[in-house]
């Protein structure tokens, strides 16, 4: 099992903010140590947070919640 770093989560959160749930080639390249399926699931976790649970996957890691809170607060 590969451990997600805060930097990995930040890359996913920023990608979601800019591109939605679609995994861009740039994101996949930046996170090449993770599988595309794992990246896709993490994007869906972020979608769950961004939509207040209306869409996405609900089993969100605490670290992902922390990073999304920072990214979404910096949006303004």
Condensed to tens digits (0 to 9), the pLDDT of residues 21-48 reads 999 999 999 999 999 999 999 999 999 9
Give the contacts of 53 (CB within 8 A, at least 6 positions apart): none
Q: Residue 1 falls within a domain, yes or no?
A: no
Q: Residue 47 falls within a domain, yes or no?
A: yes
What span, in angstroms and rounded, lies between the C-alpha atoms of 71 and 36? 22
Whole-structure pTM value: 0.93
Total domains in the fold of the chain: 1
What span, in angstroms and rounded, lies between the C-alpha atoms of 19 and 12? 10
Residue 24 in tokens:
């861009």
> Which residues span the domain enclosing 61?
6-73
Mean residue pLDDT across the chain: 94
């Amino acid at each position: 099992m590969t451990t997600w770093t805060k930097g990995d989560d930040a890359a996913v959160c920023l990608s979601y903010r800019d591109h939605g749930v679609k995994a861009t080639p740039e994101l996949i390249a930046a996170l090449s140590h993770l599988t595309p399926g794992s990246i896709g699931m993490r994007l869906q976790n972020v979608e769950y947070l961004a939509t207040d649970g209306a869409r996405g996957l609900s089993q969100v890691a605490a670290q992902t919640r922390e990073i999304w809170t920072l990214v979404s607060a910096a949006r303004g």
